[in-house]
Amino acid sequence: MRLRYVIPALLLIPLADAILLVFVAGEIGPVPTVLLVVLTGLIGMLLVRAEGRHTLARIQQKAARGEPPTDELLDGALLIAAGAFLLTPGVVTDAIGFLLTIPPTRYPIRVLLKRYVVVPKLDERTDGFVTGGVWTSGFPDQGDSGVDAGGASSPFDGGDAGPFGGSDADAGPFTDATGGDGPADDDVIDVDPDDYRTKDE
């Protein structure tokens, strides 16, 4: 979810909360409305405290077994958000806090958060390592022919641009001007037979 959608949603929550508080106060009165908000906040904080202890115990158990407590850490983050919503006076914020606190409603929220927010973000940061979509062989910018997206040849593909190419354009250290593998045809090596005579001769 992009930030431009999250910020308006967070701004609409206090507005909806104020409108609902005015409506509830008009129905049951100001004093019962205040008592309702305080009571729901206290009950919600007690639930957050109990769920926090249970989540911490599960984190310690998984850590003792050597397992990554991924879901438990997400539960802890949701419980922190639930505590912030419950501390905010209002009916809508208390309702959101209860949804993030109670396990039957928190677990689906955790699954959606993990699937659509956490995993894509980690996958983006690790270049596909989280979901296994990493490049395992070759080069990402090159195909099977050894030519990359820009059309340049690989240095070892035998092309003209490589140091071991065999064309006339690249006069390598082992090629002559005519493209042969040895010395040029015009190069004649003169050997003096006297240089190889022994002393006995």
Q: Which two tokens stand for residue 40?
A: 């729901």
Residue 96 pLDDT greater than 80, yes or no: yes
Residues 2-13, mean pLDDT to the nearest whole number: 76
User: Under a CB-based contact definition with an 8 Å cutoff, are residues 165 and 172 in contact?
Assistant: yes
pLDDT at 169: 43
Q: Which two tokens stand for residue 183?
A: 């010395």
**Could you give the CA distance from residue 23 to residue 37 in angstroms, rounded to a whole number?**
14
Average pLDDT for the chain = 74
pLDDT band at 89 (very low <50, low <70, confident <90, very high): confident
Q: Look at residue 142 and tell me whether its pLDDT is greater than 90.
A: no
How far, in Å, CA of 148 to CA of 180, rounded? 29
pTM: 0.60
Binned at pLDDT 50, 70 and 90, residue 186 comes out as low
Contact 98, 44 (CB under 8 A): yes
Band (pLDDT 50/70/90 cuts) for residue 177 is very low
Token output for 100: 């993030």
- The H or E element that residue 9 is part of is helix 3-28
Mean per-residue pLDDT, 47-54? 94
- Out of 66-80, 83-97, 129-143, 181-195, least confident range: 181-195
Which pairs with CB-CB distance under 8 Å and at least 24 residues apart come from 183-190?
Answer: none
User: Is residue 101 within 8 Å of residue 63, measured between CB atoms?
Assistant: no
The mean pLDDT of 130-145, rounded to a whole number, is 55
Cα–Cα distance between 42 and 83 in angstroms, integer? Answer: 10
3-state SS track over 168-193: CCCCCCCCCCCCCCCCCCCCCCCCCH
Backbone angles phi, psi at 147, to 5 degrees: -110, 130
Residue 138 in tokens: 């070759």
Rg of the chain, C-alpha, whole Å? 37
Of 83-92, 100-109, 152-161, give the lowest mean pLDDT range.
Answer: 152-161
Structure tokens at 82: 């639930």
Please answer whether residues 131 and 125 qualify as being in contact, where contact means their C-beta atoms are separated by less than 8 angstroms.
Answer: no
